[in-house]
Amino acid sequence: MDIDQTKIPQATAKRLPLYYRYLKNLSASGKQRVSSAELSEAIKVDSATIRRDFSYFGALGKKGYGYNVHYLLSFFSKTLDQDETTKVALIGVGNLGTAFLHYNFIKNNNTKIELAFDADEEKVNQEIGGVPVYHIDEFTKQIKEKDISVVILTVPVHVAQSIADQMNDTGIRGILNFTPARLTVPDHIRVHHIDLAVELQALVYFMKHYPV
């Protein structure tokens, strides 16, 4: 299982958490093997893609047997560093931010929202979903103290860049950006961008031009 991670295509890498979660449930239910067809049906990824993805991990299914659940699970667990929890901070406790705080990330996961920030005094010094909310003015101090490496950004678009600018000299190396702002950040910070309007528009485009 000594795979050169950088050889895994990015599209494959994005499916790893999905595979991992499903296999964990299979294993918990006592299942010892699974076919690519069963996996395909359950997670809605076509089976040719699953077989190609798994071949990168050296997992070759056997005809009439399928894949060994335990082997796959231990591979994914190691690959996704399930033993190591990544500490996350959330900035912007509006509706979207509150939804995240109530979402139990830790359950099947290696990430934990440790603290949240907002500029609204009424939200500060509360706990939401078990996560303490601090004032945004304490951002740099708390981020360093709590050793946070990832930020979920759910603030209004007009403050997104100025908040991102405060992350330069902290330990932050990743931003999950839910604002429509395209952020300018130093090279060592990776930004994944999820724009809800773009996702909706893309779905409509695909409905029209790639009929299923």
* List of residues contacting a copy of itself (CB under 8 A): 5-6, 8, 10, 13-14, 16-18, 20-21, 41-44, 79-81, 86, 88, 94-96, 98-100, 102-103, 105, 108-111, 149-150, 152, 173-174, 176, 180, 182-184, 187-210, 212
Question: Which CB atom, from 66 or from 174, has the smaller least distance to a copy of itself?
Answer: 174
Rounded-to-integer distance, Cα 51 and Cα 56, Å: 9
Annotated binding residue 130? no
Question: Which CB atom, from 134 or from 178, has the smaller least distance to a copy of itself?
Answer: 178
**Residues 79/56, Cβ–Cβ less than 8 Å:** no
Question: Which CB atom, from 47 or from 149, has the smaller least distance to a copy of itself?
Answer: 149
Annotated binding residue 203? no
Which helix or strand (DSSP H or E) is residue 204 part of? helix 196-209
**Residues 27/70, Cβ–Cβ less than 8 Å:** yes
Annotated binding residue 212? no
Annotated binding residue 174? no
**Residues 81/110, Cβ–Cβ less than 8 Å:** yes
Residue 145: how many CB atoms within 10 A of its CB? 10
Question: Which CB atom, from 146 or from 182, has the smaller least distance to a copy of itself?
Answer: 182
Question: Which CB atom, from 43 or from 59, has the smaller least distance to a copy of itself?
Answer: 43
User: Phi, psi at residue 68, to the nearest 5°?
Assistant: -80, 115
- At its nearest, how many Å lie between a copy of itself and the CB of residue 113? 9
Record the tokens describing residue 129, joined without a space: 């979903």
Annotated binding residue 25? no
**Residues 70/32, Cβ–Cβ less than 8 Å:** yes
The residue written with tokens 């990832």 in the block is 150
- At its nearest, how many Å lie between a copy of itself and the CB of residue 63? 25
- At its nearest, how many Å lie between a copy of itself and the CB of residue 37? 14
Cα-Cα-Cα-Cα dihedral sign, residues 94, 99, 102, 105: negative
Question: Which CB atom, from 63 or from 210, has the smaller least distance to a copy of itself?
Answer: 210
- At its nearest, how many Å lie between a copy of itself and the CB of residue 174? 5
Q: How far, in Å, are 88, 121, 138, 170, 199 from residue 189 at the CA level?
A: 14, 29, 21, 10, 23
Annotated binding residue 92? yes
- At its nearest, how many Å lie between a copy of itself and the CB of residue 119? 17
Q: Which residues are annotated as a binding site for NAD(+)?
A: 92-97
Q: Which residues are annotated as a binding site?
A: 92-97
